[in-house]
Amino acid sequence: MLRLSSNDPGFAEAFARVVADRRESAVDVAADVAAILQDVRERGDAALGELTAKFDGHDLDQSGWQVDAETCRKAFGDLDPTLRSALELAAERIRAYHAAQLPEDRDYTDAAGVRLGATWRAVDAAGLYVPGGRAAYPSSMLMNAIPAKVAGVERLVVVTPTPKGEVNPLVLAAAHLAGVDEVWRVGGAHAVAALAYGTERISPVDVITGPGNAWVAEAKRQLYGVVGIDMVAGPSEILVIADAQNEPRKIAADLLSQAEHDPTSQSILITDDAAFADAVEQAVETELTALHTQATARASWETNGVIIDVASFAEAPALANALAAEHVEIATDDPEALMKQIRHAGSVFLGRMTPEAVGDYVAGPNHVLPTGRRARFSSGLSVLDFMKRTSFIQLDSAALEAIGPAAVALADAEGLPAHARSISVRLGQ
């Protein structure tokens, strides 16, 4: 774990190294992924079957290519009632939050008499990648599928790796609750290729969303343009800005909530009290001993964890903006004041009673968020990722006479006479 102080002479250089550290896979998978994509494009289901046998250790012809709707319904019905209620609460809140994101069509006539506007429409089909390797997350199923359904997507397709043919029943239950149409027992870069190009069994989709490993992320990156994607996500991260009025064990728990995801995850604390920083560091050690995910969380904390002592919280917004973290917790007396100065963050959690983890499950906003400083230019998953906007224009003779001559002049200036002619003939020129 790295300890920094903004008062140290070398702080700027040390902090710049933290900002620049991508923590993403050191293995260059681009060439391997390109070969997989090409194989699936050329051989379809045959390639999917071979790659699934290689990576997941089962024969799709024997275990079944698809999980049927009845199996998903039964998985939901068999849930412990408490867990089923929790899943239903999460789904209800996620649905309500994303319904409020639906954009409105525009239709108006401007001062020149030109009718202008835009209509929003959902894509026809969306593909969701749901991890099934290191961990399986029903919450990610809800966070990806529900916004697509709210947007109005007609066909929702899930691909998920099933090691040895086994699929997590919680994921199936979440698929049922979210209204998923198809669940396929394939994962990895080859599953992403199947969604993009289509195979004999799997029809192609228009947009692919969802988290995955380095191969999945690289597949999405290479296929952008063939299909739309949500983002190329990297390791999880959390930045906690906390003062000494917090209980150290609570802040320690918050830091570890992301550290337990993966050894490459990163947890950072910014505080204005060195003694509190010491107490949090000690509390992390105590909290680690109680986690069955201790090995992963410890590797993350010891390799990528950072504690930054600042002279005052006036320094925190600039540091936060440079980090552009996926999750930012502000546990101070006046979190609103700090939030107003933070321009780059995937999602912000305000106050001492708002742990980031509540946002992962039941708060409502999406937990699929930009990582690796991508919050500088991108946002979390929303209904807009499953929609596109089409503009429209309508002129009558008076409107064309008002603005057409300017268009003719610009077309002539650009050396495009046919453009100019298509307008001028309507102006009687």
Catalytic positions, written as ranges: 326-327
What sign results for the dihedral spanned by CA atoms 335, 336, 340, 346? Answer: positive
Q: Which pairing describes strands 182-184 and 115-122: parallel, antiparallel, or unpaired?
A: unpaired
Binding site listing for substrate: 236, 258, 261, 327, 360, 414, 419
Which stretches of 132-181 are assigned E, i.e. beta strand? 155-159
Burial of 275 (0-12, 13-18, 19+ CB in 10 A): exposed
CB 209 within 8 A of CB 226: no
b/e for 194-233, b at 16 or more Cβ within 10 A?
A: bbbbebeebebbbbbbbbbbbbbbbbbebbeebbbbbbbb
Give start and end residues of each alpha helix (H) in 226-383.
248-259, 274-288, 294-304, 316-323, 335-339, 356-361
Binding site listing for Zn(2+): 258, 261, 360, 419
CA distance 373 to 356: 18
Give the residue carrying structure tokens 């109680």. Answer: 290
CB 334 within 8 A of CB 246: no
Q: Chain-centre distance of CA 107, in angstroms?
A: 32
Closest C-alpha among 381, 344, 362 to residue 239: 344
Q: Which pairing describes strands 66-67 and 182-184: parallel, antiparallel, or unpaired?
A: antiparallel
Containing 195, the helix (H) or strand (E) segment is: helix 188-197
For residue 183, what are the contacts with CB-CB under 8 A and spacing of at least 6? Answer: 66, 67, 72, 158, 160, 167, 172, 175
CB 344 within 8 A of CB 77: no
CA distance 145 to 210: 9
CB 295 within 8 A of CB 256: no
CB 91 within 8 A of CB 146: yes
Length of the chain: 429
CA distance 370 to 379: 6
Give start and end residues of each alpha helix (H) in 44-168.
45-56, 60-63, 69-77, 81-99, 138-151
